[in-house]
Structure 1
């Protein structure tokens, strides 16, 4: 399949231009020198624009048109207190005249700063006009979202449920598009990428990249760094979406499933908790590249890349792309990670 054929598949679906695309594709010269490697790039999806950016904006380019077509008036979703996904959904809702109501999971992250509930993403949710109700991590998310939507319907609203993490087949179309974008940028820069490393949790980003590169005939290994401390769950979520994308683009699911790689060793043992390697990743990204990664997602993804470099996972000829999925607002809720500052 060539780029035009993949683009034609993507264009089957209505799409809103919510993101500032293409996002930059840059060499990380100072960081690669610090690591002692020669071929390290970054894809800046922290700069997608809407709602302070992040990977979910790409997914929402395809989800919001569906909500508009169904004449919804309130977007319903869920996430933790400092959810990057909720923040981007709330921003998209504000931009297109929807209400936004989300289930706020209050018991998943136990180690929090004093102002964890008043800063970062949650402050932005408030500014974008989102409202919330309390949920538990132990709740069945899909059932609770359905219950919330049903209640809103009885109140005369027209709810549209945005899945947790914007992770479904429709949202993953945004990352088929991202794979195409990366391929075009790499070719224009005369870079033959061999690996892409990124933070992986709900699965849509990794599934879209795997399917997109496979459709284009590119032998690029996509390594998702588990941020949930449950690599089997991450693998399962990626596979679920990948199965649907395989049907979409006419590829064999079994061959795509073999491409799923989930790196399990950089989750810090729990979702929303950072360890020394995460903090190191945050500090070196800022110090050497002027880039902010967050303690929950992109910081763990970059920590995984650094760890894999140190383990000699890549050869001197490999060309590695760190896919920065965003999340910078969350860093303000984790100031205690930097005691010399606080």
Structure 2
């Protein structure tokens, strides 16, 4: 499959020394928040494959969807601007009093935002945008939310190969790879490559919105298409898909004081900042489970920092400051 070279790769892996000592494990952080600035995070890895497919098909417009503070929408807008493509974003949610964070960057990068209410269908709106663009003579390419389909997930199949290369260089083996899960594509790519390598490592996902059952089905659907695209026999059952839905908290993109206090503590004591929507919840869940003894037998744990710092809203920042 063709691939663009947009992200700053490979991203480094750092050991979190102080926290490792505190928890009694070897805990490492893969800095996928270093993939770029405007494109920072995990989304650009997926877009390298999705947008390559769009260009191969001769498309001139990228269409995707997400929430007000969608990292994926912002990354798509950045890639489109870089390549001279038009970008239309279907954005769901209430517009804040101040245009900030990812929404501001979307506009700065020249993307056209189509706002819908929480009750409206993103898919229906994207179909409407596609129809209008075709009428105007454009050739649009639709990227699903989070670029979470078989093509986009190849970005994290490639990332797993990168992780294995790191292991060889560092002389260690990560028996647990942990991520926050928002749309399933990153998890699917890691799981697929892990199976192809026939390793015994576990891929652990911490859900930030939907429940375990929903994500398992979404991931299975992506995996089925990945196997078919590679001309491989689809397994009768995709086992060992581990999605933990116990740390969603009060809902997607919403935070509790306890979660934000944890993020601030990690920042002060370890020198890296998580985001409140994805990595904050995933890292909080992982650390909580380590403390509860649920990672017994895990010698080396790798958490993938998938970015998202531009997702800090004014509300999140104000709440976080109250915890200091």
Q: TM-score, normalised by structure 1?
A: 0.88
Match 2:92 to one of 102, 105, 108 = 105
Greater mean deviation of Cα atoms: 43-52 or 19-28:
43-52
1:96 paired with 2:77, answer no
Displacement of 1:182 after TM fit?
0.5
CA contact (8 A) 2:205 2:244 kept: yes
Counterpart of 1:301 in structure 2 is 282
Q: 1:98 to 1:182 in 2, by over 3 A?
A: same
1:335 paired with 2:317, answer yes
Greater mean deviation of Cα atoms: 220-229 or 241-250:
241-250
Counterpart of 1:119 in structure 2 is 100
Match 1:247 to one of 228, 244, 261 = 228
Q: 1:138 to 1:233 in 2, by over 3 A?
A: farther
Q: 1:280 to 1:52 in 2, by over 3 A?
A: farther
Q: 1:246 to 1:70 in 2, by over 3 A?
A: closer
Match 1:165 to one of 146, 157, 171 = 146
CA distance in structure 2 between the partners assigned to 1:244 and 1:316 by the alignment: 33
CA distance in structure 2 between the partners assigned to 1:322 and 1:280 by the alignment: 20
Q: How does 1:208-247 map to 2 (within 5 A)?
A: 208-247=189-228
Match 2:13 to one of 14, 25, 31 = 25
Greater mean deviation of Cα atoms: 235-244 or 164-173:
235-244
CA contact (8 A) 1:281 1:300 kept: no
Q: 1:147 to 1:295 in 2, by over 3 A?
A: same
CA distance in structure 2 between the partners assigned to 1:55 and 1:136 by the alignment: 26
Match 1:155 to one of 130, 136, 150 = 136
1:46 paired with 2:33, answer yes
CA contact (8 A) 2:212 2:244 kept: yes
Q: 1:221 to 1:341 in 2, by over 3 A?
A: closer
CA distance in structure 1 between the partners assigned to 2:288 and 2:323 by the alignment: 26
Counterpart of 1:196 in structure 2 is 177
1:81 paired with 2:89, answer no
Q: 1:195 to 1:230 in 2, by over 3 A?
A: same
Displacement of 1:162 after TM fit?
1.2
Greater mean deviation of Cα atoms: 60-69 or 285-294:
285-294
CA contact (8 A) 2:179 2:204 kept: yes
Counterpart of 1:268 in structure 2 is 249
RMSD over aligned CA atoms reads 2.0
Match 2:50 to one of 63, 66, 73 = 63
Greater mean deviation of Cα atoms: 219-228 or 63-72:
63-72
**1:289-326 deviations in Å (ceiling 9; x for gaps):** 32121111111111111111111111265211111111
In the comparison of the two structures, how many residue pairs are matched? 322
CA distance in structure 2 between the partners assigned to 1:167 and 1:229 by the alignment: 15
Query: SS at the partner of 1:338?
Result: helix
Displacement of 1:139 after TM fit?
3.2
CA distance in structure 2 between the partners assigned to 1:137 and 1:222 by the alignment: 32
CA distance in structure 2 between the partners assigned to 1:336 and 1:230 by the alignment: 28
Q: Unmatched 5+ residue regions in structure 1?
A: 1-12
CA distance in structure 2 between the partners assigned to 1:181 and 1:151 by the alignment: 41
**1:70-92 deviations in Å (ceiling 9; x for gaps):** 22222111111111110100000
CA distance in structure 2 between the partners assigned to 1:229 and 1:313 by the alignment: 22
Match 1:144 to one of 117, 121, 125 = 125
CA contact (8 A) 2:92 2:122 kept: no
